[in-house]
Structures are given as structure tokens and as C-alpha cells.
Amino acid sequence: MPHLKSLYYRQSISNLCYWVAAVAIGVTPAIVATDFGGVLPWTKQVTALALAGACGIAIVARLLSIGCPTEVRLPPRSFGVAAVLLTLTTYAALQTLPLPSSMVAWLSPASYAAHVTWAGQILADQSSESIPISIAAFDSRHSIACLVIAIMVSFSAVTIFHDRSRIIWLLSAIAGTAC
């Protein structure tokens, strides 16, 4: 009997954590939109923290629900979007790594020409032996950070919004905050 009570308690806490994560994901876009549409750098940082927190809470909820009677077991195809985003992020990250010049010339001749010929004087402090494929590696890293947040949310949303009531709440939050 104590074991069932423990499972019921864990299940209740897990459900509460899922709801907290659902509310955080549902409310974040509306709050971000109030600050000039969320284009300011600090707004993006706060958004990333809020969504990462929601994803962390979803992971805790998932861990608490393991072994409970209402544990949700999702098929691997449910995480297809997260897998595609992870592949794109890996591809984008490869373009920001310093690679040997000969490899960059082979993979992307235009990028090599831009680094060596056009931007040779401007990027004189950079070693010519290893260059990234990306012309603007810093901007590419920023885009990669946005993709990482999208991966976390798409991976967590599958588990958070598996319940019909949370889906209804999310759609109501989106409809209620739309202008």
C-alpha cells in the first residue's frame, strides 16, 4: 500500500510539473511580444532562459512519471522534428569551426575566396591556416543558439502536450494573446 501511495504522489507532482512547463511555454511568446516583438538581445536571452527552464521542468516531470500507471511512452517518430533540427544544428555548427584552408577551399570555394582574397586585410589577425566555412561565424553561432532552443522546445513539447487538456490550454493561450 505505501508503494501505491508513493506512485500516486509522484504522479501528482509530475502532472503539476507538466502544467507549470505548459504554462511557461504558452505564456512566454505573449510576454516576449510586448517588448518590441522580442527582437532585442536581452529579450531573446530571457526567452531562452524561460524556455530552457520549462524544458528542465518537463525533464523532471518525465523522470518523476517513470513507473507510474499513467506514464506516457511515446514512439520514436514523435521526436522527428527534434531530430531534423538536431541535424541542421550539427551542420551549422560544422560551418563555424576553424578548418584547414585546403579543406575549406574544397568544401566551399566561395567562402575560401571571401576569406583569403576579399577579407584578407580585414581579417589579418586570423590565422590563414585554419578558417571557418562561415563568413560571419559569430552570427552563425547566434543562429545555432536559436536552433538549440528550438530543439529543446520541440523535444519537450512532445511530452508536455501529450495530454488533451494541455493542448487545449496552449491553443487557448495562443488565441487569447493574439492581436
pLDDT for the residue 57 = 94
Q: Rounded mean pLDDT of the chain?
A: 84
Give the span between the Cα atoms of 149 and 126, in whole angstroms: 30
Q: At residue 179, does pLDDT exceed 50?
A: no
pTM of the complete model:
0.74
Identify which of 12, 18, 17 has the alpha carbon closest to the alpha carbon of residue 165.
Answer: 18
Task: Write out pLDDT tens, residues 43-54.
Answer: 888 888 889 999
Between 42 and 22, the higher pLDDT residue: 22
Give the span between the Cα atoms of 141 and 114, in whole angstroms: 19
First to last CA, the chain: 52
Assess contact for 51 and 28: CB atoms under 8 A.
Answer: yes
Give the span between the Cα atoms of 101 and 98, in whole angstroms: 9
